[in-house]
């Protein structure tokens, strides 16, 4: 019984909110369980406008019998039956067939009269509901008296609020909580089970299309609705349907001035928001299963996301630059994202340009800087409810087009420009009495090493680990920061079908063996301008992947991991691969990317690809490959290294169709782009 009283208390606490929806004017709206619900008056107003448009020139009949006897009207003529002895037949009809023939057909839209009548009934019922809830103290007193009665079948009592007791069916005794002046029950509870019961349940169960849902739970079970024909409020409180839904209803004040509209919970976590540009923003997955990254330092006043590498780090062929305004307070150097030594004297708002780079090239445009830094700010605002002005990012790139890792490592001529970017960031910040730290290095390199083919997989991995260590040591020496500098990198997808895969696989080795490396994404899903370099949209899109990994790893303290294989098992013809899935479930997506043979999977033995019979996803986190023959010893399973999807153009590249269900999206221009975590390219010995 205490559970029943608690549920009634919940009903009382929300009746004012429901009153806004049911009794408010056409301008009233309410957030219920993350859904924007307009008032019934608004819906009725819209229907009235539609009907008024349709009913001009209609004819009227007192009954359906009179109407059916009158067929001398042109096709599509409208009429209204207004006084039939069977009131359910009243309403709007339309003529089907030619003049003098055919028949009248009932319209699916109720008449203005019926709608007004329904609204009046809803408002009347609501008034009764609120009046009875006002007598709640009397209800509690009467319920306490129930314990003194031994015979639940014969004793009847009444109180000031009109509470009475009667048999519902058999031995089921219902104690009414809300009744009208004729003692008809609107709401009560079963004395034997404590289950709440309400009027109209049978009609809700047997006529599912005759009511309008108002409150539903997460399984779309209706707890409160309005019956169309009568306007009566119907409540289904069985099995805690409504009480569960009502507990989730949150009328919370949004304490965030960055959004025109937002749905939040009681902790101000945003489920859905609309910013002042009209962009709809959803909260993302919590990424359960990501490893913790040991972030030991406090956020600085200026947080440098520094890029380094070859031409893709500079925006080669990414013309024209498209990020031409700064939506937050993020910064770059006075000389732009690709600033040379002379352009490092001060900061300016982070925007892209088409200026030449220090390496002398004039083909550069959009870099990764704006997409990455601005997306970090967006995610902090949406997912952490953090004011972006409290986390300013400085982003720049110090790469050189066409350089191998040997030409970029410590001791090379070009490495000095990287250190100059760090020194300038520190000095300019100090002049403003602001703290500064290099929070991450964005690495975009590998094409020349892969194409050349002279560097082994192990050698590239060793060089990469050394490069990260050298940069981290030099950064700490310049800035005195205590925090590490993780290296965020993409995975190269070009040249792999030529058998040139050392860099691609070494990049995966780095993130699997060293927690200071974070592989943000493979490269096969982006738009290319010339087979190796991206379009302007492609660079900004890729920048969002870097920003997503930065936010999770650096800001949230969870080391981002891509969709990648964990372990394999072989039995007969079957190969089972278990994956780390950032946002389950995995799917084979042949709509977003062109179809690749066997979704990108191949199995090789002694230099020969084996015939595959089927490839399946199991439980959203495993892939099963079924061969046509038993799996030989010393075989290898590969993904994205031997085949490419239809329509993809990266240079002799590979791809597949396996991705997770990451919900995050980014906006570029007027279009939305998914940020799915596509499976990394890999080769595993079986």
Average pLDDT, stretch 84-98?
87
pLDDT-derived band of residue 142, with 50, 70 and 90 as boundaries? very low
pLDDT at 344 over 50: yes
Comparing 368 with 20, which gets the higher pLDDT? 368
Neighbours of 348 (CB within 10 A): 14
Average pLDDT, stretch 223-236?
58
pLDDT at 147 over 50: no
pLDDT-derived band of residue 644, with 50, 70 and 90 as boundaries? very high
Comparing 135-139, 367-371, 667-671, the range with the smallest average pLDDT is 135-139
Q: Give yes or no for a cis peptide into 476 (omega within 30° of 0).
A: no
E-only strand ranges, 143-190: 166-169, 172-179, 185-190
Comparing 80-94, 506-520, 649-663, the range with the smallest average pLDDT is 80-94
pLDDT of residue 93: 87
Residue with tokens 């590998």: 446
The SS3 of residue 317 is coil
Average pLDDT, the chain: 79
274 exposure class (CB count in 10 Å sphere: 0-12, 13-18, 19+): middle
pLDDT digits (tens, 9 = 90+) for 475-497: 999 999 999 999 999 999 999 99
- DSSP type of residue 621: T
Q: E strand or H helix at 555, and its extent?
A: none
Average pLDDT, stretch 301-323?
96
Decide the pairing of beta strands 436-444 and 392-397. unpaired
pLDDT of residue 156: 31
The SS3 of residue 313 is helix
CA distances for 248 relative to 217, 245, 284, angstroms: 8, 5, 19
- DSSP type of residue 574: E
Asked if residue 364 lies in contact with residue 357, where contact means CB atoms within 8 angstroms, the answer is yes
pLDDT of residue 406: 96
Neighbours of 25 (CB within 10 A): 10
Sign for the pseudo-dihedral over CA of 534, 466, 520, 323: negative
Query: In this prediction, what percent of the chain has a pLDDT beyond 90?
Result: 54
pLDDT digits (tens, 9 = 90+) for 11-46: 555 566 666 766 777 777 766 566 666 777 776 776
Average pLDDT, stretch 332-350?
96
Q: Which residues lie below 8 Å from residue 232, measured CB to CB, with a gap of 6+?
A: 121, 122, 125, 199, 200, 226
pLDDT of residue 508: 97
Neighbours of 199 (CB within 10 A): 22
pLDDT-derived band of residue 324, with 50, 70 and 90 as boundaries? very high
Average pLDDT, stretch 225-232?
60
CB half-sphere exposure, 413, CA atoms < 13 A: 4
Comparing 371 with 207, which gets the higher pLDDT? 371
Q: Which residues lie below 8 Å from residue 535, measured CB to CB, with a gap of 6+?
A: 317, 318, 527, 528, 529
**What is the number of residues in the chain?**
686
Comparing 9-23, 234-248, 295-309, the range with the smallest average pLDDT is 234-248
Q: Helix crossing, 40-54 with 2-23: angle to 10°?
A: 40
pLDDT digits (tens, 9 = 90+) for 438-468: 999 999 999 999 998 889 999 999 999 999 9
Average pLDDT, stretch 590-603?
96
Comparing 52 with 443, which gets the higher pLDDT? 443
Asked if residue 445 lies in contact with residue 398, where contact means CB atoms within 8 angstroms, the answer is no
pLDDT digits (tens, 9 = 90+) for 500-518: 999 999 999 999 999 999 9
pLDDT of residue 126: 59
pLDDT digits (tens, 9 = 90+) for 62-74: 999 999 999 888 8
pLDDT at 577 over 80: yes
What span, in angstroms and rounded, lies between the C-alpha atoms of 37 and 22? 10
pLDDT at 130 over 90: no
pLDDT of residue 297: 57
Average pLDDT, stretch 322-338?
96
How far, rounded to the nearest angstrom, does the alpha carbon of residue 192 sit from its chain's CA centroid? 44
Average pLDDT, stretch 248-268?
50
pLDDT of residue 214: 60
What span, in angstroms and rounded, lies between the C-alpha atoms of 410 and 412? 6
What span, in angstroms and rounded, lies between the C-alpha atoms of 476 and 482? 7
């Amino acid at each position: 019984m205490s559970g029943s009283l608690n549920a009634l208390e919940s009903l009382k606490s929300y009746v004012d909110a429901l009153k806004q929806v049911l009794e408010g004017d056409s301008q009233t709206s309410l957030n219920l369980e993350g859904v924007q619900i307009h008032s019934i008056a608004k819906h009725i107003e819209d229907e009235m406008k539609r009907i008024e448009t349709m009913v001009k020139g209609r004819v009227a009949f007192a009954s359906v019998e009179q109407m059916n006897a009158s067929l001398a009207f042109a096709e599509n003529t409208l009429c209204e039956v207004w006084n039939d002895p069977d009131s359910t037949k009243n309403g709007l009809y339309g003529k089907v067939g030619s003049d003098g023939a055919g028949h009248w057909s009932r319209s699916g839209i109720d008449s203005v009269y019926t709608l007004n009548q329904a609204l009046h009934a809803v408002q009347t019922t609501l008034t009764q509901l609120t009046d009875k809830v006002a007598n709640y103290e009397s209800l509690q007193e009467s319920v306490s008296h129930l314990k003194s009665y031994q015979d639940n079948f014969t004793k009847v009592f009444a109180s000031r609020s009109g509470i009475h007791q009667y048999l519902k069916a058999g031995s089921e005794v219902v104690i009414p909580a809300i009744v009208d002046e004729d003692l008809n029950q609107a709401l009560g509870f079963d004395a034997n089970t404590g289950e709440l019961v309400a009027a109209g349940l049978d009609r809700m169960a047997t006529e599912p299309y005759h009511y309008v849902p108002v409150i539903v739970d997460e399984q779309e079970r209706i707890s409160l609705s309005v019956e169309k024909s009568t306007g009566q409020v119907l409540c289904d409180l069985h099995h805690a349907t409504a009480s569960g839904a009502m507990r989730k209803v949150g009328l919370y004040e949004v304490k965030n001035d960055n959004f025109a509209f937002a749905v939040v919970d009681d902790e101000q976590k945003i489920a859905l928001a609309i910013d002042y540009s009209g962009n709809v923003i959803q909260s993302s997955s919590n990424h359960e299963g990501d490893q913790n990254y040991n972030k030991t330092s406090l956020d600085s006043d200026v947080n440098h996301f520094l890029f380094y590498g070859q031409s893709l780090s500079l925006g080669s062929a990414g013309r024209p630059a498209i990020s031409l305004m700064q939506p937050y307070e993020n910064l770059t150097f006075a000389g732009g994202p690709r600033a040379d030594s002379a352009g490092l004297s001060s900061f300016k708002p982070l925007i892209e340009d088409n200026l030449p780079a220090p390496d002398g090239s004039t083909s550069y445009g959009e870099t990764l800087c704006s997409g990455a830094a601005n997306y970090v700010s967006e995610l902090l605002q949406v997912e952490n409810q953090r004011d972006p002005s409290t986390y300013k990012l400085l982003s720049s790139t110090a790469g050189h087009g066409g350089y191998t890792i040997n030409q970029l490592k410590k001791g090379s001529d070009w490495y000095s420009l990287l250190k100059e970017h760090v020194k300038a960031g520190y000095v300019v910040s100090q002049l403003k009495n602001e703290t500064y730290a290099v929070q991450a290095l964005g690495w975009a390199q590998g094409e020349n090493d892969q194409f050349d083919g002279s560097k082994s997989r192990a050698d590239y991995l060793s060089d990469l680990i050394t490069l990260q260590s050298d940069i981290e040591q030099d950064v700490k020496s310049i800035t005195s920061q205590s925090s590490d500098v993780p290296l965020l990198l993409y995975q190269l997808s070009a040249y792999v079908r030529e058998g040139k895969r050392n860099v691609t696989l070494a990049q995966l080795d780095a993130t699997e063996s060293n927690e200071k490396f974070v592989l943000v994404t493979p490269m096969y899903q982006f738009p290319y301008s010339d087979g190796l370099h991206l379009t302007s949209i492609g660079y900004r899109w890729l920048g969002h992947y870097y920003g997503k990994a930065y936010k999770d790893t650096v800001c949230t303290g969870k080391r981002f991991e891509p969709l990648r294989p964990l372990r394999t098992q072989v039995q007969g013809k079957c190969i089972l691969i278990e994956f780390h899935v950032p946002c389950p479930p995995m799917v084979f997506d042949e709509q977003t990317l062109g179809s690749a043979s066997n979704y990108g999977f191949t199995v090789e033995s002694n230099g020969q690809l084996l015939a595959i019979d089927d490839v399946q996803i199991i439980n959203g986190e495993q892939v099963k490959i079924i061969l046509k023959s038993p799996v030989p010893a010393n075989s290898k399973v590969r993904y994205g290294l031997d085949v490419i999807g239809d329509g993809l153009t990266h240079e002799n590249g590979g791809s597949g169709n396996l991705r997770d269900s990451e919900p995050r999206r980014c906006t570029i221009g007027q279009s939305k782009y998914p940020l799915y975590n596509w499976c990394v390219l890999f080769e595993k010995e079986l």
